[in-house]
Every structure is written in structure tokens, then in C-alpha cells.
Amino acid sequence: MKNIKLNYRYRDADNYKQFGSVVFSNPSRLPVEEATALLLPKLISEEFFVPDDWGLSRLHASPYNPAVDHEWHEFEEFEETNEEATDNREIGEFLKGLVKGYEV
């Protein structure tokens, strides 16, 4: 059975990027396209999210400076993977628990 990996990144005030991912189990065999369709309406401006709101790790590599940095991370994609799950939630549970962040 394939799991689903969520790939995301953080771009700091100097445009340096940090990349991360989380792997969810997929016992219901949810297609990547459907997972993406369920996630997109929950993103800020169809691209961003705050990882703390979704129970995901922040990707700040250097010390966080709220004067110039921000909390928003960018969704890149979902992909199927044979990697072991790194999150205790299955993909359906994760998607059902998402709340949309604030818009600018």
C-alpha cells in the first residue's frame, strides 16, 4: 500500500528556502489528486499555511525573527511513496482536521 507524502517549504525574509515533508498512512487509498483537491481550499491564497495550525513542524533553519520572518509555509505537492509514515494520523484524518488560516 502506498502512503502519501506532503512536501512543503519555508522561504525566509532573504528568500532562503528550507524543505520538509511528512508521510501519512493511506489505508483508504485516497488518490493524490483527491487529497490535493481537499487541501487546496484550506490554504491561504491557495498556497500557504501555518504548520502549527496543522500539527506540522516549522522549517525555520535560522533563529526565527518575527520582525522580518513570518509563519507561512508553502504547500508544494502530495506524492505517493513507499516510505514509512512519519505522522500518526492517516491522510483522511489529517485532511478532515485542517482549518484555513487567515487571509491578508
DSSP-assigned beta bridge partners for residue 10? 18
Distance CA 56, CA 89 (A): 11
Residue 101 forms part of a structural domain: no
Q: Give how many domains the chain has, as a whole number.
A: 1
Question: Tens digit of pLDDT for each residue in 30-45?
Answer: 999 999 999 999 999 8
3 state SS of 89: coil
Domain of residue 46: give its range: 3-96
Residue 22 forms part of a structural domain: yes
> What cell was used for 55?
500539527
Residue 104 has pLDDT above 60, yes or no: no
Question: Tens digit of pLDDT for each residue in 17-73?
Answer: 999 999 999 999 999 999 999 999 999 988 999 999 999 999 987 777 777 778 899
Question: In angstroms, how far is CA 55 from the centroid of its own chain?
Answer: 9
Residue 77 forms part of a structural domain: yes
Residue 59 forms part of a structural domain: yes
The alpha-helical segments, DSSP class H, found in the chain are 32-39, 51-54, 91-96
